[in-house]
């Protein structure tokens, strides 16, 4: 049940022309970065929702903060009644490994939670007569490469190929992509007066994301951030995938920037609702080499977990993000070298005093 809002001292009251943004999963990895970025940009009243209390620093950047569950439709409705959202960034999800430990819970959170938010966004848009922008992070987990040889042959996968996910999370994300399209373009087709095109659904298929500030929980791409952070802490790390494992990644700053750039893109520029975004596609061994170069004492070994290996083997080696580059100017700031030299290593060293 969503608690009452925690209104922060920075909350603005009555300021015209500010945009009200809901961020679900606000306490998660992307949520941290998104709140910081929106707060720094200014002009947004940020309403945060998470299962857990937001930490003090984050809460201070929000106009309101709720502890609540996206599967609780009644609690969500109360939050929508209190705030006339212009934008919804729906980040709350159970990731791929967590989803395999509790697939029914993953479906409830990932799909029913998203449906709850799409319905409320559509109703809000209809009552106000103007769009609600719905920004949704999908994932490379929607892909299911038909074997390692095909993964290598196909290389950079296009948005329309190999959509055969093998995890509940990937199935959920693909379903939510279609739910978003339905609410945006096809809602209640047999009812001519039903609100159409009022949910401005925009979706990114994220690769693995590496943050210097936070560690992921429950993902299968987590081997990369886990390896880097362990080295910085002087802890040995047993990588749960093979050295040759290759999937696409990007840094957290690039992930946050991609969400904000897509949200800011003029609607008429967008030729699709779902975009790949990528930045670099290292193997686990290449990541380990960069980690050892930065932390020579790093102890990286390999202890493969076959079930998690099968998941990342089903994901593409890289993604074709030409549509995002063409339609709304996507361009990562960090390639692999810059990710380490400009962002990860200096920031992580500072964080751990390494
Ligand atoms: C996961 O590992 O499940 C996520 C993802 C690739 O979407 N980080």
* Domain assignment of residue 242, yes or no: yes
- By most ligand atoms within 8 Å of CB, the mutation choice from 31, 95, 98 for ligand 1 is 95
Q: Decide: 95 in ligand 1 pocket, CB within 6 A.
A: yes
Q: What is the CATH number of the domain that holds 198?
A: 3.40.50.720
pLDDT at 195: 63
Rounded distance from Cα 217 to ligand 1 centre (Å): 10
Helix boundaries (H) for 42-167: 56-59, 73-82, 96-101, 103-107, 113-128, 148-154
* Domain assignment of residue 56, yes or no: no
Residue 245, phi-psi category: left (phi > 0), alpha (psi -120 to 50), beta (remainder): beta
* Domain assignment of residue 292, yes or no: yes
Contact in structure between 231 and 291 (CB atoms under 8 Å):
yes
* Domain assignment of residue 106, yes or no: yes
pLDDT at 217: 87
Mean pLDDT by 10 residues, the chain (354 residues): 43 64 96 96 97 94 97 97 96 97 98 98 92 98 97 97 98 98 92 79 98 92 97 97 98 98 97 98 98 97 98 98 98 98 95 84
Rounded CA separation 95/110 (Å): 9
Q: Decide: 141 in ligand 1 pocket, CB within 6 A.
A: yes
**Is 343 among the residues known to form the active site?**
no
Rounded distance from Cα 112 to ligand 1 centre (Å): 19
Q: Extract the tokens encoding 185.
A: 């373009």
Domain count, the chain: 1
Rounded CA separation 136/180 (Å): 8
Q: What is the extent of the structural domain holding 284?
A: 93-352
Is-above-0.85 flag for pTM? yes
User: Beta strand 19-24 with 44-50: parallel, antiparallel or unpaired?
Assistant: parallel
Cα angle value 42/45/49 (rounded, 5°): 125
Consecutive H or E run containing 292: helix 284-294
pLDDT at 11: 43
Q: Which of 143, 169, 183, 343 is catalytic?
A: 169
Rounded CA separation 141/315 (Å): 6
Q: Which atom of ligand 1 is nearest to the CA of 221?
A: 2
* Domain assignment of residue 14, yes or no: no
* Domain assignment of residue 305, yes or no: yes
Q: Extract the tokens encoding 174.
A: 């693909």
* Domain assignment of residue 7, yes or no: no
Rounded CA separation 91/252 (Å): 14
pLDDT at 8: 44
* Domain assignment of residue 78, yes or no: no
Q: Decide: 140 in ligand 1 pocket, CB within 6 A.
A: yes
């Amino acid at each position: 049940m969503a608690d009452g809002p925690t209104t922060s001292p920075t909350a603005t009251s009555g300021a015209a022309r500010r945009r009200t943004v809901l961020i679900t999963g606000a306490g998660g990895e992307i949520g941290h970065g998104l709140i910081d970025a929106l707060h720094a940009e200014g002009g947004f009243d940020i309403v945060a929702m998470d299962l857990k209390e937001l930490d003090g620093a984050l809460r201070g950047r929000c106009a309101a903060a709720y502890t609540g569950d996206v599967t609780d439709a009644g609690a969500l409705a109360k939050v929508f009644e209190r705030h006339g959202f212009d934008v919804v960034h729906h980040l709350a999800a159970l990731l791929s490994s967590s989803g395999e430990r509790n697939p029914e819970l993953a479906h409830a959170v990932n799909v029913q939670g998203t449906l709850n938010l799409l319905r409320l966004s559509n109703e809000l848009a209809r009552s106000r007569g103007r769009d609600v922008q719905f920004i949704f992070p999908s994932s490379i987990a929607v892909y299911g490469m038909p074997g390692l040889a095909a993964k290598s042959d196909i290389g950079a996968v296009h948005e329309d190929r190999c959509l055969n996910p093998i995890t509940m999370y990937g199935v959920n994300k693909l379903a939510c992509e279609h739910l978003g399209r339905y609410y945006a373009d096809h809602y209640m087709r047999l009812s001519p007066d039903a609100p159409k095109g009022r949910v401005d659904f925009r979706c990114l298929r994220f690769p693995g994301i590496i943050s210097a500030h936070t560690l992921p929980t429950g993902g299968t791409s987590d081997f990369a951030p886990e390896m880097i952070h362990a080295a910085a802490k002087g802890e040995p790390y047993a990588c749960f995938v093979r050295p040759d494992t290759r999937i696409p990644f990007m840094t957290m700053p690039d992930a946050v920037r991609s969400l904000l750039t897509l949200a800011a893109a003029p609607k008429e520029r967008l030729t699709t609702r779902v975009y790949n975004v990528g930045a670099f596609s290292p193997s686990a061994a290449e990541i380990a080499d960069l980690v050892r170069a930065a932390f020579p004492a790093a102890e990286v070994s390999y202890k493969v977990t076959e079930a998690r290996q099968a998941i990342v083997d089903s994901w593409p080696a890289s993604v074709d993000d030409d549509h995002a580059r063409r339609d709304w100017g996507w361009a990562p700031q960090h390639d692999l070298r810059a990710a380490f030299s400009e962002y990860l290593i200096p920031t992580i060293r500072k964080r751990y005093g390494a």
